[in-house]
Amino acid sequence: MIAVIQRVLAGSVKVEGRQISQIEHGLVALVSVVRDDTEVDARWIARKIAQLRIFRDHSGQKHFDRDVQQVGGSVLLVSQFTLAGQTSTGRRPGFDRAAAPQQAQPLLELTVQAIREAGIQVQTGQFQADMQVALINDGPATFILDSRQ
C-alpha cells in the first residue's frame, strides 16, 4: 500500500457538491492499494498512520515529537488509486499496479478499522467517487509511506 499523509489544521471531502466528511487538526491520508497487497500491508499502513510522530510537542519546540492520538487529532482517509500510477514512461500514467476495486475496498476498510481500534477518530472519503478534497496543510508536513519498503 502507498499513502501520502499530510499534517493538517483541517480537511474535508465533498462528493457531488455535498460535504461528506470533515476533520479539524490531524492527518489527511491519501491511500492506494497496490495489486499484491494483503491484510499485512493494510495493518502496517494503519499502524504507521496512527503512530508516526510528526506533530509538535506542547511547547511547540520539538517539531516531530508526538503522534496523531497524542495531540487529540483525527484522520481523514481518502482512497486514491492514482498513487499507484506509473509515470516513468510515456505521457499518460499507467495503472497496472493499482488493485482492482474488489480487492482494494476491503483492504481500505481494514485500514480504517485498524486506525479506529488504535483509538483514533477516522472520517473517510467515498470509495470510487469523484471527490473534492480540501485541506490546510500544517507546516507543511507531508510524508510518503510504502508498505513494501
Q: Which residues are catalytic?
A: 80-82
Q: Using N-to-C axis directions, what is the helix angle for 39-51 and 101-117, rounded to 10°?
A: 40
- Nearest of 50, 31, 25, 9 to residue 125 by alpha carbon: 31
Burial class of 64 by CB neighbour count within 10 A (0 to 12, 13 to 18, 19+): middle
DSSP 8-state symbol, 59: T
The bridge status of strand 26-32 relative to strand 74-79 is parallel
* Residue ranges in the chain assigned as alpha helix (H): 39-51, 101-117
